[in-house]
């Protein structure tokens, strides 16, 4: 079953679907299995497909429920080694970088907060026969560590997001000065987002 088959099955949503001609076999397989395993899980909680984008080296799949969203993103871009994927939980505009970068939390961050004894991090991007096992495992972790978020309780999400953003610096802008030396200023939107979401 291909990505377009999944799109046809979900007629109730206004899913944006984007694939490039140069989609890789690895990303296509990852996207198909992620949709096969994770879609039924999140749809039980009222999330619907919002966007599916499969490229040569990356995949982005977004499910939305009101202002909440779940984003699955992966990269096997050569400069991103070790290759990874994430399940990200967010609240707000999932399509606006300056919003979602500050107003979202990776599932592994919730896992670290809930179970301090585990060393959590991004998921390793799986290949071949490992794809189904890896995504099934991530799906189980979504149910375990993202349970409150899935059920609409954002308390843990807000706490984790705040802790994450308090320790972050706003984005920096480097500009050449009149004397040829570069000056550094804080990017204004990210200063606002840091205050808003910390």
Side-chain-side CA neighbours of 170 within 13 Å: the count stands at 17
Q: Quick one: pLDDT at residue 193?
A: 73
Q: Do 52 and 17 meet the contact criterion of CB atoms below 8 Å apart?
A: yes
Is pLDDT at 9 greater than 60 in this prediction?
Answer: no
Across-strand partners of 58? Answer: 75
Q: Quick one: pLDDT at residue 14?
A: 60
- Report the percent of the chain where pLDDT is more than 90: 63
How many Å is the maximal CA-CA distance in the chain?
61
Phi, psi of 171 (to 5 degrees): -60, 150
pTM passes above 0.85: no
* Per-residue model confidence as pLDDT tens digits over 140-180: 999 999 999 999 999 999 999 999 989 877 778 888 878 88
* Per-residue model confidence as pLDDT tens digits over 42-70: 999 999 999 999 999 999 999 999 999 99
Give the residue from 31, 40, 44, 39 showing the smallest Cα distance to 1. Answer: 31
Q: Where are the domains of the chain?
A: 3-167, 170-198
Across-strand partners of 189? Answer: none
């Amino acid at each position: 079953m291909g990505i377009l088959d999944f799109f046809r099955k979900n007629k109730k949503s206004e899913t944006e679907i984007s694939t490039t001609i140069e989609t890789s076999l690895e990303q296509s397989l990852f996207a198909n299995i992620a949709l096969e395993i994770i879609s039924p899980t999140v749809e039980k909680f009222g999330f619907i497909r919002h966007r599916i984008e499969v490229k040569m080296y990356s995949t982005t799949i977004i499910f939305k429920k009101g202002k909440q969203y779940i984003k699955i993103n992966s990269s096997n871009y050569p400069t991103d080694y070790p290759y990874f994927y994430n399940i990200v939980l967010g609240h707000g505009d999932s399509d606006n970088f300056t919003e979602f970068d500050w107003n979202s939390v990776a599932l592994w961050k919730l896992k670290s907060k809930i179970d301090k004894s585990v060393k959590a991090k991004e998921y390793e991007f799986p290949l071949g026969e490992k794809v189904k096992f890896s995504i099934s495992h991530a799906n189980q972790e979504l149910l375990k560590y993202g349970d409150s978020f899935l059920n609409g309780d954002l308390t843990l999400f807000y706490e984790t997001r705040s802790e994450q953003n308090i320790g972050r610096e706003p984005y920096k802008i480097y500009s050449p000065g009149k004397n040829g030396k570069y000056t550094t200023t804080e990017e204004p939107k990210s200063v606002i987002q840091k205050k808003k979401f910390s």
